[in-house]
Amino acid sequence: MSTRLPWHDPLWSQISSSLEQKRLAHAYLLQGPAGVGKANFASNLAQLLLCEQPSLEACGQCKSCHLFEVGTHPDYRQLVSEAGKSIGIDMMRDTSAFFSLTRQYGRYQIAVIFHAERMTMAAANALLKTLEEPPASALLLLISEQASLLPVTVRSRCQLLRFTVPAADVALSWLKSQGLESDQAQHNLGLTRGAPLRALALNKENDFESRRNTILEGARALYSGRKDPLDLAESLLKLGAKHALYILWQWKAEMVRSLATDQHCADTALAQQIGQRRLLKRMAGLSTAIRQLDSQLNEQLILEDIFISWV
Ligand SMILES: [Zn+2]
């Protein structure tokens, strides 16, 4: 179960009072900008409704919660379209078929439609049929950043849950609770127009990029004799052995590609110096080492062996 986001409190109150009055709608439109937690809300709401012993939140312990968390709950569906692709009528027919199945566990059958604005007209019409005569147990959660693109007929049959960017101090303190420094949090929020989840994701991307650079700098230093294999093993261990080996495997693959296609990469000269045969051999060595890490052998020794074999 993901933690509820603090700026969603008013929306949770709205849902709680509908539940108390047994007046939950059959369809909600979760509308708002990217990165404010619409998917988090939808997922938490679905788990709460499917939970066999819910209180204010899902219990996280029952069979239903367990199935939900591993993504195999039979009364729950997600419709996700690939970026740039529409949601076609076939996906919507599958959803109608899902609602016609017998419920396996609780009182609800729940489908979440991500990027609902990507529905084709035909898909929207098929959805309308479900919205006009929803089975008693059906709950549809439509998520959209551009709800104005949805047909009015669809929108008018959904109850609106409006998500907005939280107040700056709320967003800041949440990002700090996620481990960001104040300056960084402020900077990222500026770039994402105050959307906290996007601000956090931005940091993860930056982190990934800077870790990758550290790993590759270390490997280049090894090849130029500026670093000793054992030192490199020790420093990469701190960045996560498996992650480091995977990055290095990709790096070698990039070098092989650059030799094979005459496409320059940052390390083409180094690639020529090592040569294709040895590069391929080292990629195989890295794959083996990555598998060895899974069997929990000594990580440091595995890294040391790899880097010793490179010099
Ligand atoms: Zn539960």
Is the confidence at residue 1, as pLDDT, over 70?
Answer: no
Sign of CA dihedral 85, 89, 90, 91: positive
Token readout for 193 is 């127009």
From ligand 1's centre to the CA of 227, what distance in Å?
Answer: 53
CB 273 within 8 A of CB 191: no
Q: Residue 26's closest CA among 129, 124, 177, 123?
A: 129
SS3 content of the chain, % helix, strand, coil (to 5): 60, 10, 30
Q: What number of residues does the chain have?
A: 311
Residue with the bigger pLDDT between 8 and 262: it is 8
* All CATH 3.40.50.300 domain ranges in the chain, comma separated: 6-164
* Packing angle, helices 299-310 and 196-223, rounded to 10: 50
In CATH, 6-164 is 3.40.50.2300: no
How far, in Å, CA of 293 to CA of 86, rounded?
Answer: 41
Helix (H) or strand (E) holding 143: strand 138-144
**Statement: residue 56 has pLDDT above 90:** no
Task: Give per-residue pLDDT as tens, 123-165.
Answer: 999 999 999 998 889 999 999 999 999 999 999 999 999 999 9
14 CA to centre of ligand 1 in angstroms:
21
Angle between helices 168-177 and 182-191 (to 10 degrees): 120
Amino acid letter, 54: P
- Interval between CA 139 and ligand 1 midpoint (Å): 18
| Cα 157 to ligand 1 centre (Å) | 29
Cα–Cα distance between 142 and 114 in angstroms, integer?
6
- Residue predicted with more confidence, 136 or 205: 136
CA of 43 to the centre of ligand 1 (A): 13
Q: Residue 81: pLDDT above 90? A: no
- Output phi, psi for 237, to 5 deg: -55, -40
Q: Is residue 286 within 8 Å of residue 248, measured between CB atoms?
A: yes
H-assigned helices in 133-224: 152-155, 168-177, 182-191, 196-223
Handedness of CA 36, 148, 126, 16 (dihedral sign): positive
292 falls in which pLDDT band (50, 70, 90)?
confident
Cα of 109 vs centre of ligand 1, distance in Å, is 15
Specify the pTM: 0.70
CA of 5 to the centre of ligand 1 (A): 19
Judged against a pLDDT cut of 70, whether residue 296 lies above it is answered with no
pLDDT above 90: percentage of residues in the chain: 73
Q: What is the mean pLDDT of residues 215-241?
A: 92
Average pLDDT, the chain: 92
Helices (H), 262-310: 268-274, 276-294, 299-310
Q: Tell me the per-residue pLDDT of 34-47, one tens digit each, with 9 for 90 and over.
A: 999 999 999 999 99
Identify the helix (H) or strand (E) that includes residue 45: helix 38-50
Beta bridge partners of 29: 142, 160
Q: Is the pLDDT of residue 216 over 80?
A: yes
